[in-house]
Structure 1
């Protein structure tokens, strides 16, 4: 037992917490990655059924291969694995990252990070905690009550100080490290007493705990008839929140002496530095009334107890402890889950922690769930852990919370190791596990070049020479003179500034004294891109119009890069204009032109801004709404409002559609709808290719959608944003071309979705707003005036019949290997548009209505409105004439092609 009369927390190290706040009359508790909901009668966390579950048979198809190994610091290494597994007959792959810590190395340590400034109830991202505590690597930690102040569900010891005690919940394991650096994973319970000056004793239920529903005891509510201690690590004024049935009597103890007693009411203060507050209720409050008085001494004693050995453990003998969920691995094998895992099923990002059989290595594990990785089931995670050498291991909080940061070699700051389930968004969490180094500065061991590995033509970037010492920690090389050179003409370099000259790969070499380092820099050419997209795809064709047109390139590997202005060449069709600093300005419009094009070219890859006299058609700005707007939902308990209100921020002075929702009393997959015009909706009268809407985000991480009913009676759900990960106003542009909507259609409602999987990771209350909904409807804009009708051609005949009128052409259509080829000129003569031929690049640029199509002779790939696509056949060059695949070109331009086998006749319709 440890006696601590003043409960001084000054030695506490940094630890962290976070999740979304919820409504006043309901509590939402996150445990095992899911939410349980109950009305707050008295306490917080509801009783969660245990039902210990046996593990499923591990997938024999699971395999993992190490693909990289990088030293972070002396004693800590990051390993990346690629895994594959067969699920329901299909192969799935993904990535997992492991930080292996060598406990035999005296220069490396691990500890818990807590919130901001090492305090509970403050919450912070894993990266933020790592930066604040100067960790060289870190992952997210324990589960916590999403509606509470921000305290872990499990126990926490940091720097030998007991920060929070384990909750009385069955099957929850924790990882601990003893003072002599021995790892252990076990269930732990808490025992403690306070002793009055008269010798009377009162049992303590815990330290720094939020309200919850205990399991396996006599009380349904944690704080009823119980005594808890709150130290200055608990910064919130509420102790705890949502414990309305347990009206407290509180005792302030400073330097071991009682200085205040508040009977039947909480003390109106946060805990003073170096002090603690004894919070009591019921029979525990009666003890205070009978045995305690201001000016008397009060002492405490407490310990943890191992559920496996029954041994009492002084928290002061532990370096650290962090709570988790179920045990996953024991004795080097997958073991039965110690708690129901039905709520944390599926294929998710995962965080786990374990150690080797000899106790030398700690394995800090994060499984990725992003565009590059499919996530893991818990059973697959067990297979992975045993395959890398974990002898005993447990599950930490996963899903959207899963976050890993690490400090690359020679760098001074940690970076996100991989995209989370929410992209680069890091959730604020209750605590995390940090890796630290205390190595002294050593001698220079190696150097490396730091800077971008990919550039675009015309782009410049700064590179620096960075070093690391014998302990693999960064070392300052700024005093040395560095010389730079490039291996070829793709990149030029001077004084650490490299400029991309042409497509290719160059090796940069930096030398300082006798040391040198190299790095490869790839300059992307047009053939390396999958798309080239302007910031604004459509606009009004009117003199004086200014549009923001920054251009973003996406490589074939998926990387997005802003294209420098110097890398682009602009061409204007149908108007006179200019582009300066990412702004397109229309100076004048050519007589009779209704559709113009601003074509941007990057190393032969093109994209276009389509400008029309109508442009995007304004559909609803909510200024003069004459139809009803209403809130609806699918789930009992979900409440909210949908109404036209005054805008805020960038939309102040404008009316907007505001949708507020409160899902805290609901369950399952929940929707909050803003319904337009009752069940009728509002009509979108013509075929629309793009939808644009301004959205005020609430950073709830929920899903944002729109619901249409099309002309065929089908319901079509359109994703506006997979994740609402922003605050303030943002313009969202949605490509409708792939949804198969039959127009005219009806927009019925816009809405927020909170899906059941990972529901604890998203806010259940919030407000979003909508304004300035518009659609690009080609028939009302860029395709107005284009000829319509029917044209027909016969293979081998030099004639074209358009709307019944036959005329001679100088090149007959050709059928080759089942594909009909024609000179594109005749199609455009009949149905509108233009084509230009580049004899050097063998490219054909076709412009028609809202389409900009670029084809290349003998290449099956083509570019449509800045996006690379692939066809089955390519244009050909025959006897000096360029012939294009008729069906490919016509259908991409919005025309319909029919083939009559008997007469060898092609019919094109618009």
Structure 2
């Protein structure tokens, strides 16, 4: 009798253990990733960037979607953040892509879309997670309890990002804010950078990258509940060229000059800022620190991790089918996959988060994130020789939604 090699037995045992962990239904979903996936014809947008349609059979029916495959090894092919020029702003993916000269793109992070729980406080349009564009850190992550989007799987956080390093390799990583406010009496920790929500007792910095939107939302909700009341214990300090030039009891609005920074404090943070008066010297420092990669990122966007090492994460939602957007990478981070489904009214089916993870694995992703879906899901491409991009999927509701940011694909730069 031929003895089965021990390495093969261990591999089979690992697969069976993973299937048991997910449960019978989830295991069947994962197993269907290959035989439930069908591709349409491939269009080469530019060398290294392909577009194609697909269908995928899920538990709620057959979903139809659109896929960009981006080979980061191709000279001149890159990805970067699509955004409307400020953190607290929104735009259509097609408009953002055209303005940036992208050959393709998708919508990205969940964002502060509405404020029904805080009457009189305007929504900012700002995204949940960290963001880096062209190597420039734009913002850090809001507290976990303040995020928008589906439930995060265990072990993940609002600081998780899909990113591309200065080495041109895509990764899943975590970006935390490391910052301080140096006062004449001592140093105060900086708890936020251009965020629509600050932690209770914290101090946040707002720069010209924030835009002119109101900063009132920064003191609403708490670390555990987004809809908690707004704090009435706030203080705002405007610093220009290292010197305090203005103070206010209530967060304001309006454009921030490039040489200035606005500090907003709530509760203990407000108390610390109240020691400042015009003319005081203040030293504000901030940077985003990566957990896994020390070489620096030229692009990063927040997202909900759903796939690592080719396997769906434990605890993914597997009941509600919806229109989804996802991004991931394979080939050791050298190939990226950007995906958006058709709106359910057009396709007749959506996918659960677990099905989305299984689909990304079937496409070839080793790691992936779930991005903002529903009416936000949008994928655009620019055909060879065309002057502008075209929306390829059918957004839910029939028209493009204004979104906080996206992932753009570029060639020749």
TM-score by length of 1: 0.37
Q: Indicate conservation of the 8 Å contact 1:137/1:435, yes or no.
A: yes
Output the CA distance in 2 between the equivalents of 1:249 and 1:96: 47
Deviation at 1:267, TM superposition (A): 4.8
Alignment match, 2:309: 331
The alpha-carbon deviation at position 401 of structure 1 amounts to 1.0
User: Given the alignment, which residue of 405, 409, 412 partners 1:431?
Assistant: 405
Partner of 1:208: 194
Unpaired runs of at least 5, structure 1:
1-52, 212-221, 440-910
1:239 to 215, 240, 246: 215
Deviations, residues 515-574 of structure 1 (Å, cap 9, x unaligned): xxxxxxxxxxxxxxxxxxxxxxxxxxxxxxxxxxxxxxxxxxxxxxxxxxxxxxxxxxxx
SS at match of 1:124: coil
CA contact (8 A) 1:58 1:379 kept: no
Out of 234, 238, 257, which is 1:252 matched to?
A: 238
CA contact (8 A) 2:182 2:283 kept: yes
**Residue 177 (1) aligns with residue 180 (2):** no
Partner secondary structure for residue 27 of structure 2: coil
2:65 to 93, 96, 100: 96
- Taking a change above 3 Å as real, the CA distance of residues 74 and 373 of structure 1, as seen in their structure-2 partners, is farther
Shift of 1:199: 7.1
For residues 225-236 of structure 1, the aligned pairs below 5 Å read 225-236=201-212
Q: What is the aligned partner in structure 1 of residue 394 from structure 2?
A: 419
Match of 1:69 in 2: 42
User: 1:125 and 2:104 equivalent?
Assistant: no
Q: Deviations over 1:322-353 (max 9, x none)?
A: 0112x22111122214xx647xx522221111
Are the counterparts in 1 of residues 163 and 170 from structure 2 also a CA contact under 8 Å? Answer: yes
CA contact (8 A) 1:251 1:258 kept: no
Distance in structure 1 (CA, Å) of the matches to 2:280 and 2:189:
21
What does residue range 307-706 of structure 1 map to in structure 2 within 5 Å? Answer: 317-325=296-304, 327-337=305-315, 341=317, 345-369=319-343, 370-372=345-347, 374-423=349-398, 425-439=399-413
In the TM superposition, what whole-angstrom CA distance separates every residue of 1:828-848 from its partner, at most 9, and x where no partner exists?
xxxxxxxxxxxxxxxxxxxxx
The structure-2 alpha-carbon separation of the partners of 1:358 and 1:149, relative to structure 1 and needing over 3 Å to count, comes to same
8 A Cα contact 1:227 1:278, kept in partner: yes
Residue 119 of structure 1 contacts residue 234 of structure 1 at CA under 8 Å; is this kept in 2? Answer: yes
Give how far 1:236 is off.
3.2
Structure 2 gaps of 5+ residues are 1-20, 115-122, 145-155, 221-229
The 8 Å contact of residues 74 and 107 in structure 1, kept in 2 or not, is answered as: no
Match of 1:286 among 271, 284, 297: 271
Q: 1:81 to 1:284 in 2, by over 3 A?
A: same
Higher relative contact order (CA 8 A, sep 6+): 2
Q: Distance in 2 between matches of 1:141 and 1:61?
A: 26
Q: 1:265 to 1:373 in 2, by over 3 A?
A: closer
1:710-760 deviation per Cα after TM superposition (whole angstroms, max 9, x unaligned): xxxxxxxxxxxxxxxxxxxxxxxxxxxxxxxxxxxxxxxxxxxxxxxxxxx
CA deviation vs aligned residue, 1:865-903 (integer Å, no higher than 9, x gap): xxxxxxxxxxxxxxxxxxxxxxxxxxxxxxxxxxxxxxx
Q: Judging by fraction of residues, say which structure has more strand.
A: 1
Q: After TM superposition, where is structure 1 displaced by more than 4 Å over at least 4 residues in a row?
A: none
Q: CA RMSD in A?
A: 2.5
Change in 2 beyond 3 A, CA 1:229/1:119: same
In 2, the alpha carbon distance for the partners of 1:179 and 1:106 equals 14
Q: Distance in 2 between matches of 1:249 and 1:110?
A: 39
**Counterpart contact for 2:131–2:139, Cα < 8 Å:** yes
SS across alignment from 2:195: coil
Q: Which residue in 2 is equivalent to 1:712?
A: none
Aligned to 1:300: 285
Alpha-carbon shift at residue 383 of structure 1 (Å): 2.1
Q: Which moved more, 1:167-176 or 1:224-233?
A: 167-176
The 8 Å contact of residues 190 and 305 in structure 1, kept in 2 or not, is answered as no
Q: How far 1:177 moved relative to its partner?
A: 1.1
**Mapped partners of 2:102, 2:357: distance in 1:** 27
CA distance in 1, matches of 2:27, 2:55: 21
* Closer/same/farther in 2, CA of residues 75 and 254 from structure 1, 3 Å limit: farther
Residue of structure 1 in register with 2:226 after alignment: none
Call closer, same or farther: CA 1:201–1:98 in 2, change over 3 Å.
same
Task: Find the aligned partners of 1:74 and 1:193 in 2 and give their Cα distance.
Answer: 45
Q: Match of 2:111?
A: 144
Aligned equivalent of 2:141 = 166
Shift in Å, 1:54: 5.5
CA distance in 2, matches of 1:341, 1:134: 36
Question: Once the 2 structures are TM-superposed, how far is the Cα of residue 175 of structure 1 from its aligned partner?
Answer: 0.5
Looking at structure 1, the residues matched to 199 and 395 of structure 2 have their Cα atoms a distance apart, in angstroms, of 36
Partner SS for 1:358: helix
Give 3-state SS (helix, strand or coil) of 1:261's partner. Answer: strand
1:333 touches 1:391 (CA, 8 Å); kept in 2?
Answer: yes
2:57 to 61, 64, 84: 84
Over 3 Å counting, the alpha-carbon distance change for 1:54 and 1:276 in structure 2 is: farther
CA deviation after TM superposition for structure 1 residue 373, in Å: 5.1
